Amino acid sequence: MKTKFITTIVLAVALMGFVSNANAQKTTKLFNGKDLSNWGFVLQDNSVPAEQVFTVKNGLIHITGKPTGYMYTKEKYSNYKLHVEWRWPDGVESNSGIFLLVADASNPFPNGIECQLHAGDAGDYIAEGGSILAEYQLKPGEAHPKFMVVKKAKASSEKSAGQWNEANIFVRGNVMTTFVNGVYQNTGVTEQKEGFIGLQSEGNNIEFRNVTVTPLD
């Protein structure tokens, strides 16, 4: 009996390792750590070349924040877990965001949902470019606003400037759920079920690393 019990434990541990390896194989690095060759770029008024705003330094994505715009995946995604790590490298908190379910990557504020990274507000959702959030309740007579903001559920779970933060965002169909540094912050329902993923330029310097996407069953 004891031998059978030990054998069962060994098999269970082996199975857990197999599942873990299988999931790891499914995870795709959206940033290769070397260059931004697999990303596209949108900048307001195309006032400067994209390479002046979006660069790779010491294996990290560096975005200047000026002018406003974003870098976006060349492939659209649906039903996934997105993992993103970011920090304010100069010790100065600023503004940025993670774009989800972007329908058309052409406008600096595209049709899609922004997971806010503005210091103190990381985890807020903003519907832009004509997109909607079901959680946003229009007041009687209120026109569709340019930006629909749905505030995060809890107080800021961000770390101080200079330290790395992480967002884990689960997109199942048209439902998005966000955790910031392991703390649940928001759930939102929109119309889009597939779209580009983007990292925003807005405000000041920000750095990103470990940007990965994992399919959800």
Domain ranges of the chain: 30-215
**pLDDT attached to residue 88:** 97
Q: Which amino acid is at 41?
A: F
DSSP 10-39: HHHHHHHHHHHHHHHHH-EESS-SS--TTE
Nearest-angstrom CA–CA distance, 48 and 52 = 7
**pLDDT attached to residue 25:** 59
- Given the structure tokens 């400067």, which residue do they identify? 48
What global pTM score does this model have? 0.87
pLDDT digits (tens, 9 = 90+) for 80-126: 999 999 999 988 999 999 999 999 999 999 999 999 999 999 999 99
How crowded is the C-beta side of 142, counted as CA atoms within 13 Å? 10
pLDDT digits (tens, 9 = 90+) for 22-44: 455 599 999 999 999 999 999 99
Which has the higher per-residue pLDDT, 16 or 215?
Answer: 215
Helix (H, G, I), strand (E, B) or coil at 51: helix
What's the gap between Cα 217 and its chain centre?
Answer: 19
Nearest-angstrom CA–CA distance, 65 and 204 = 4
Determine the CATH number of domain 30-215. 2.60.120.560
Instruction: Please report which helix (H) or strand (E) contains residue 169, including its range.
Output: strand 165-172
Nearest-angstrom CA–CA distance, 217 and 187 = 19
pLDDT digits (tens, 9 = 90+) for 176-194: 999 999 999 999 999 999 9
